[in-house]
C-alpha cells in the first residue's frame, strides 16, 4: 500500500477526506433517515463547519445552488434549472412569485422538458411543443418547476441562504411550503441564529421541515486530530491539540488547515513508518502565523471593500465607520453567538455620543452590502433584522485578529472625521 500523504488526511478540500471525517452526534445517520421522509431539511452552521462535507457524503448527487447577495428566489430556481440544461428566463418586471419562461438549453433539458410536459399534459403546438413552456401566470407555475426538479431525480440544495435578503428568505419560506405540497423536497443550508428559523417565517412549515445544527464542540474537534494522527502514525502532544482546538473557534476547516501547516513545519509530509511524535509547540506557532499570513489578503480586501463602501455614503461616514468598529471589537464569545444591537450601540455611542440608536439600526441593515465583492460574495458578518443583532458568518476572523495586529481602514475614516 502506498503511504498516505499529509494533505490527503488533513487540510481544506473540496472532497471529503475520510481519514479525518468525524460523524459527530451521528448526524450522518440522522440526515440519511430524513432523506427517506417527505420533509424539507434545513442545515445550519457557521462557515467551514463541515456542512458541505456532510451534504456531499449523504447527498453526493445534489443539485447545488449557491445564493449571492441580491439574489431572488427566481434566481435560485433559474440556477437550479440551468444545471439541468433548462434555461429559465426571468421576468424582471414581476415583483412577486415565479415569473418567466423555460426553454431547453441542452439535450438533457430537451428530454426533461418533454417528459414533464407530457406528464402534466401541457397544451403546445408546433416544433417547440416539447421544448418550451411559459410560466408566470398562476400558482401552477411553481408546480411546473417542482415537477422538473422531481423528474430530474436530484434533490435541490440551496446553500448560503443567509445571502438572501430578509424579504427573499420570507418568500423562500412560503415557496418551500408550496414545493412540499407538490412533493418536491429541498435542503436549505446557511447561517442563522435561532432554531426553526423557517418555521418562524412561515408557521405552515411546522412538521414539514427538519432542522439540523452543525456545531463543533472541543471533544469533536479533538477527534479530527486523533483520527488524523492514527492515519499518519503520529503522536500529537496534548498542548498542540489544545491550542489547535482553541484557535479553531469551532471551525473544522480552520483546524484542518492548522494541523496540515503544523506538519509542514515539522517536515512531515506523509504517513510515518513508526509512531512519530509531533510535540514542538514552536512548529504549531509557526504554522498559526503562516495561516494568519495566508488570510491576510482575504481580510485586507474585506476591509478595503467596506471602507470604499463607507466613503461612497455621503454625510454618513462617521456612523458607518463607528458601527463596523463596534462590531469588530466585540468579544470572541459574542462573535460566536450574537452581537446585539444594544451592545453595538453602547460601544459606538461611547465613542461618538451623537450616534442615535434608530440611525445605527438603519445603518446595520446595510452592512451586508458593504462587504460583498462584485460577485455578491464575501460576507464576514451579517445583520439579523428579526433578532436585531449582528452574527459572525466567518469565524476565521477571530483566529486572524488573534494572530495579526489588525488596523482596519474604517478606523482611518473615524480619525479623519475627528480632525474635520
Question: pLDDT tens digit string along 178-202?
Answer: 999 999 999 999 988 778 899 999 9
Q: How far, in Å, CA of 4 to CA of 339, rounded?
A: 43
Q: How far, in Å, CA of 294 to CA of 264, rounded?
A: 14
More confident residue, 263 or 126: 263
Structure confidence at residue 51 (pLDDT): 84
Q: Residue 186's closest CA among 220, 145, 225?
A: 145
**Predicted model pTM:** 0.85
Structure confidence at residue 401 (pLDDT): 94
Q: How far, in Å, CA of 278 to CA of 289, rounded?
A: 18
Please state which of the ranges 54-68, 139-153, 241-255 shows the lowest mean pLDDT. Answer: 139-153
pLDDT-based confidence at residue 126 (cuts at 50, 70, 90): very low
Question: pLDDT tens digit string along 4-45?
Answer: 999 999 999 888 999 999 998 889 999 999 999 999 999 998
- Mean pLDDT for 77-104 is 73
Q: Residue 391's closest CA among 46, 43, 42, 44?
A: 46
Q: How far, in Å, CA of 367 to CA of 362, rounded?
A: 10
Specify the CATH number for 26-213; select among 3.90.1010, 1.10.287, 3.10.590, 3.40.50.
Answer: 3.40.50
Q: Residue 361's closest CA among 378, 380, 348?
A: 348
SS3 185: coil
Q: Residue 225's closest CA among 15, 21, 52, 25?
A: 21
Q: How far, in Å, CA of 263 to CA of 20, rounded?
A: 15
CB 69 within 8 A of CB 161: no
Question: pLDDT tens digit string along 154-173?
Answer: 999 999 999 998 899 999 99
For the chain, what are the domain ranges?
Answer: 26-213, 218-279, 310-419
Count the alpha carbons within 13 Å of 169 in the hemisphere toward its beta carbon: 24
Amino acid at each position: 500500500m502506498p503511504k498516505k500523504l499529509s494533505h490527503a488526511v488533513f487540510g481544506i478540500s473540496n472532497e471529503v477526506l475520510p481519514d479525518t471525517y468525524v460523524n459527530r452526534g451521528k448526524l450522518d445517520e440522522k440526515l440519511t433517515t430524513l432523506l427517506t421522509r417527505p420533509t424539507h431539511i434545513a442545515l445550519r452552521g457557521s462557515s467551514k463547519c463541515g456542512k458541505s462535507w456532510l451534504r456531499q457524503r449523504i447527498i453526493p448527487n445534489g443539485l447545488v445552488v449557491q445564493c449571492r447577495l441580491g439574489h431572488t428566489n427566481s434566481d435560485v430556481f433559474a440556477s437550479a434549472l440551468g444545471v439541468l440544461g433548462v434555461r429559465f428566463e426571468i421576468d424582471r418586471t414581476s415583483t412577486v412569485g415565479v415569473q418567466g419562461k423555460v426553454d431547453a438549453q441542452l439535450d438533457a433539458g430537451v428530454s426533461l422538458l418533454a417528459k414533464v410536459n407530457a406528464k402534466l399534459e401541457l397544451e403546445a403546438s408546433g416544433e417547440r411543443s416539447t421544448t418550451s413552456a411559459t410560466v408566470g401566470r398562476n400558482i401552477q407555475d411553481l408546480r411546473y418547476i417542482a415537477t422538473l426538479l422531481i423528474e430530474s431525480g436530484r434533490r435541490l440544495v440551496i446553500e448560503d441562504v443567509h445571502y438572501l435578503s430578509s424579504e427573499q428568505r420570507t418568500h423562500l419560506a412560503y415557496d418551500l411550503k408550496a414545493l412540499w405540497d407538490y412533493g418536491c423536497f429541498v435542503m436549505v443550508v446557511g447561517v442563522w441564529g435561532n432554531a426553526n428559523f423557517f418555521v418562524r417565517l412561515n408557521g405552515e412549515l411546522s412538521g414539514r421541515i427538519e432542522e439540523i445544527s452543525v456545531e463543533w464542540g472541543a471533544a469533536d474537534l479533538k477527534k479530527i486530530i486523533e483520527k488524523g494522527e492514527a492515519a499518519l502514525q503520529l503522536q500529537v502532544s496534548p498542548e498542540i491539540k489544545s491550542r489547535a482546538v482553541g484557535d479553531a473557534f469551532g471551525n473544522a476547516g480552520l483546524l484542518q488547515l492548522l494541523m496540515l501547516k503544523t506538519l509542514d513545519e515539522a517536515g512531515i509530509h506523509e504517513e510515518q513508518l513508526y509512531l512519530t511524535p509531533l510535540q514542538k509547540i514552536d512548529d504549531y506557532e509557526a504554522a498559526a502565523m503562516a495561516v494568519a499570513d495566508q488570510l491576510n489578503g482575504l481580510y485586507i480586501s474585506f476591509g478595503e471593500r467596506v471602507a470604499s463602501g463607507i466613503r461612497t455614503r455621503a454625510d454618513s461616514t462617521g456612523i458607518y465607520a463607528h458601527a463596523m468598529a463596534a462590531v469588530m471589537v466585540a468579544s470572541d464569545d459574542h462573535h460566536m453567538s450574537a452581537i446585539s444591537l444594544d451592545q453595538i450601540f453602547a460601544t459606538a455611542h461611547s465613542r461618538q455620543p451623537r450616534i442615535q440608536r434608530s440611525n445605527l439600526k438603519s445603518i446595520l441593515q446595510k452592512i451586508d452590502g458593504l462587504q460583498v465583492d462584485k460577485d455578491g460574495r464575501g460576507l464576514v458578518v451579517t445583520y439579523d433584522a428579526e433578532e436585531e443583532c449582528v452574527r459572525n458568518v466567518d469565524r476565521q476572523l477571530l483566529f486572524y485578529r488573534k494572530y495579526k495586529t489588525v488596523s482596519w481602514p474604517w478606523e482611518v475614516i473615524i480619525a479623519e472625521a475627528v480632525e474635520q
